[in-house]
Amino acid sequence: MLRNRNETEDNAGPPQSIALLCGVERRRLVGGHASRVELRLAHLYPDTMNLYADRGNVIALTKRCRWHGIELKTESISIGNDIDTSQFDLVFLGGGQDKEQRLVGNDLLSKQQSLAEMADDNVVMLVVCGGYQLFGNFYRPAHGPELKGLAILDIETIAGNRRLIGNVVLKTDIMAGQELLVGFENHSGKTYLGAGVRPLGRTDVGFGNNGEDGLEGAVYKNVFGTYLHGSLLPKNPQFTDHLITLALKRRYGHVDLNVLDDSFEEAAHKAAVAKARSKKKIK
């Protein structure tokens, strides 16, 4: 792969020397090892569940980890591969078309025990759209039998009769520093939350889980499910850093991340929010 002169990484984050002074790296140095801090991500079914630019989320996690002085090692887990529960700090699962979702659904059930164990062990998971539905108790199609889910998130999804499509703005209180999440939704399934989860946020613009109760997404421990793609993580940098922080805390104890220059991220976030809200007024 050609790397050209523009493609240097040092511009976007602080230089290594600064990164070394920050929380994580220092802690490792105390132990006498100069090795980089490392996190490991399991990307589930990247070849089949990649409908709406889901790889943007993995790009964002990888880049921001690097700018924070952390090496994110990503492993692709495909159909038939086992998942080693002790190996991973983060798990990502994107969305797919109905057909692909059925294909993946069966394989996912064979990993049910491993993934449930990891969720209870506070592994950080982000599951989007189709992946979100598969993490729930079941999906009930318009015709045919119910499809069993992983039951890691206490949610139920029922086939709707229209697609819920458009920009979404959420108000969330799950993290400090960013109270809005912005993205795009495109789903026909309607999802309802059970007692075992709390919502990721309340919709300011858009349909959210079902277009009825004003809720979007579901959170259980460090598992985050949402319908927002777009991609979600690049233009919601605080949320990305929140996921990284949770993963670091779990593996290394308390951490402070570097302060990054997020002017591009914030501009994209603001533009997306403005666009979503302008549509709302027209309605």
Q: Assess 270 for contact with another protein (CB under 8 A).
A: yes
CA distances (Å), origin 13, targets 65, 68, 69? 10, 7, 9
Check if the beta carbon of residue 68 is closer than 8 Å to that of residue 35. Answer: no
Tell me whether residue 79 or residue 151 sits nearer to another protein (CB atom).
79
Tell me whether residue 113 or residue 264 sits nearer to another protein (CB atom).
264
To the query of whether residue 68 is one of the catalytic residues in this protein, the response is no
Q: Assess 161 for contact with another protein (CB under 8 A).
A: no
String of contacts with another protein for each residue 225-254, x by CB under 8 A: ----xxx--xx-------------------
Residue with tokens 């220092």: 26
To the query of whether residue 229 is one of the catalytic residues in this protein, the response is yes
Number of chain residues interacting with another protein (CB under 8 A): 45
String of contacts with another protein for each residue 2-41, x by CB under 8 A: x-xxxxxx-xx-----------------------------
Annotated catalytic residue within 43, 229, 242, 269:
229
99 SS3 class: helix
> What is the rounded distance in angstroms from the CA atom of residue 129 to the CA atom of residue 148?
16
String of contacts with another protein for each residue 55-94, x by CB under 8 A: xx--xx--x-------------------------------
Check if the beta carbon of residue 129 is closer than 8 Å to that of residue 187. Answer: yes
Query: Minimum CB separation from another protein for residue 268, in Å?
Result: 4
Q: Which of 16, 35, 87, 97 binds another protein (CB under 8 A)?
A: 97
Which uninterrupted H or E stretch holds 203? strand 201-205
Q: Supply the Cα-derived Rg of the chain in whole angstroms.
A: 19
> What is the rounded distance in angstroms from the CA atom of residue 161 to the CA atom of residue 188?
7
Stretch that binds another protein, among 33-41, 45-53, 84-92, 114-122 (CB under 8 A): 45-53
Query: Minimum CB separation from another protein for residue 7, in Å?
Result: 4
Backbone angles phi, psi at 30, to 5 degrees: -55, -40
DSSP-H helix ranges across the chain:
16-21, 23-30, 55-67, 98-110, 112-120, 130-134, 237-252, 263-282
Stretch that binds another protein, among 96-104, 141-149, 199-207, 212-220 (CB under 8 A): 96-104
Which uninterrupted H or E stretch holds 95? none
String of contacts with another protein for each residue 177-216, x by CB under 8 A: -------x-x-x----------------------------
Annotated catalytic residue within 129, 187, 242, 269:
129
- Non-local (6+) Cβ contacts of 198 within 8 A are 218, 219
Whether omega before 17 lies within 30 degrees of 0, making that bond cis, reads no
Give the binding site for another protein (CB under 8 A): 1-2, 4-9, 11-12, 47, 50-53, 55-56, 59-60, 63, 97-99, 103, 163, 165-167, 184, 186, 188, 229-231, 234-235, 261, 264-265, 267-268, 270-272, 275
Residues with active-site annotation: 129, 229
